[in-house]
Chain A
């Protein structure tokens, strides 16, 4: 296994009796990127990630995470990972500083607690018990515990579910700062805007299958898809003209000449990430 992939998955299966939670998945995550696993609830995102984290035994398939088999986790291997699991509420009676310092002690490269707390934006709450933190700030504590060991690979499992819009934007900034430091991040989410902001690459997962991989810009071929141009035209039914075209600029130029200026109500659009995503899920 070469070192140029952080995660390599081939033909991963996880079955529970007759139910195929994960049904043949291939994935490659390269070092330094933010890779998003996007899919609806119950698609198999968390199951896949839990196999990679060493929590779940797989039914079959070839899996390598940082060059090792997560089915046989060792302490040295765990020391290179950071895990931020879904909705946690444990360790309620301990303070932020106590917890970050304590978890730092588990790692060979444990970081200074104060520095990590500042990095996740919890300096104001350093002495606050976990139970008293708001949802968003509780999540920051989880991230602090995930990064305190200087991980090479960080798992973030649906990190912003239940956040208000402002808290999500703040949280995204935190993830971007971690990515800027060179941490490889594997993120699962069902939010498209989150993927658009954070991910370098993504895979869409539905019913245990990967239905597409790509970047947020080209997912499902949306960068090549025909553009739609529409404008107001009293002669057309409904008063609006709509044309699909491969050459939107030429069409707009033609319209501008025809109207002798700005075409009224002009809109040029391409399929959004959401359009591409919903198309993919429909086809799945």
Chain B
């Protein structure tokens, strides 16, 4: 066996992680902005649904709190999972299948730059999406913005935890579809089903309790509840199933899922198609 260390060569050093990660984010954003379906079904999906549901259901969840206000929090939560979990799981599965990952593996790009580039993409698209969503809710449906600095702070930490957990789980889940072609079909139903059971399309207390229990195992329920605590008036806290916003539990569940995602990423991530070894 020959020596494992390449002979030292003089010359410029390898490009750093920060620089390559920023370059990755820039390229990801360009690529993303050019795929029209991703932009519409990912970033704009919650806004689209806000307009549809906001126009159809004009009743109150409880007197004085219109459904659209409750729904805005749900759409913010769904949007976070769409741009993180769903977008990453699909695009990485496709990039693995078409050979982009393999090509990158053959270059001296720092491995971490690939993931940080993806996270950069998620953060940018997530922030754009949330800003557009809140602005539309405010302008077209009179949904009040978070009332206090504390509410904005809550909105921010819920968003950050959601994006972190969603991104890590999305990277991990990208290994589940067996091909790029099947990725959409394998990934999309996950968020869709969660939306029905997690208090997004229907008010959470109106769901059967077994469904509430199932939903409580997954991140979307906690994300939606967290955003509700930032957007809805304080008196709505009593209308939650537990009678509380449960901030402590929310942090634990979202951080827990982030750790699960991280462990799965580290142990199962593949740069190549299945069977390519």
Q: CB within 8 Å of B: which residues of A?
A: 1, 3, 8, 53-57, 62-64, 66-69, 72, 74-81, 83, 85, 88-94, 98, 102-103, 105-110, 129, 145, 149
Note all chain A residues with C-beta closer than 8 A to B103.
83, 85, 88, 90-91, 145
Contact assessment for A55 and B102 in the assembled complex, using a CB-CB cutoff below 8 Å: yes
The secondary-structure label for the interface of chain B is: loop
Q: CB within 8 Å of A: which residues of B?
A: 1-7, 9, 11-15, 19-20, 23, 27, 30-31, 34-35, 95, 98-100, 102-103, 105-110, 272, 277
Note all chain B residues with C-beta closer than 8 A to A74.
5-6
Considering the chains assembled together, what is the distance between the CA atoms of A129 and B34 in angstroms? 11
Contact assessment for B106 and A53 in the assembled complex, using a CB-CB cutoff below 8 Å: yes
Min CB–CB distance A13 → chain B (angstroms): 14
Contact assessment for A93 and B34 in the assembled complex, using a CB-CB cutoff below 8 Å: yes
Contact assessment for B108 and A149 in the assembled complex, using a CB-CB cutoff below 8 Å: yes
Note all chain B residues with C-beta closer than 8 A to A69.
1-4
Considering the chains assembled together, what is the distance between the CA atoms of A62 and B277 in angstroms? 19
Considering the chains assembled together, what is the distance between the CA atoms of A88 and B7 in angstroms? 32
Considering the chains assembled together, what is the distance between the CA atoms of A108 and B109 in angstroms? 10
Considering the complex, give the chain A residue whose CB is closest to the CB of B272: A55
Contact assessment for A83 and B106 in the assembled complex, using a CB-CB cutoff below 8 Å: yes
Note all chain B residues with C-beta closer than 8 A to A3.
7
Note all chain B residues with C-beta closer than 8 A to A66.
6
Which of A3, A85, A91, A109 has the most B CB atoms < 10 Å from its CB?
A91
Contact assessment for A67 and B100 in the assembled complex, using a CB-CB cutoff below 8 Å: no
The 21 sampled A-B contact pairs (Cβ below 8 Å) are A3-B7, A53-B106, A56-B277, A57-B277, A63-B2, A64-B2, A68-B3, A69-B3, A72-B4, A75-B110, A79-B108, A88-B98, A89-B98, A90-B98, A91-B31, A91-B100, A94-B30, A94-B34, A103-B107, A105-B15, A149-B107
Considering the chains assembled together, what is the distance between the CA atoms of A93 and B28 in angstroms? 11
Considering the chains assembled together, what is the distance between the CA atoms of A79 and B13 in angstroms? 10
Contact assessment for B13 and A108 in the assembled complex, using a CB-CB cutoff below 8 Å: yes
Known contacts A76-B6, A108-B12, A149-B108; 13 further A-B pairs (Cβ under 8 A): A54-B106, A55-B105, A56-B277, A63-B2, A67-B7, A68-B6, A69-B1, A75-B14, A80-B6, A91-B98, A93-B34, A93-B35, A109-B11
Considering the chains assembled together, what is the distance between the CA atoms of A66 and B4 in angstroms? 11
Which of A75, A77, A85 has the most B CB atoms < 10 Å from its CB?
A75
Contact assessment for A76 and B2 in the assembled complex, using a CB-CB cutoff below 8 Å: no
Considering the chains assembled together, what is the distance between the CA atoms of A62 and B99 in angstroms? 28
Note all chain B residues with C-beta closer than 8 A to A72.
4
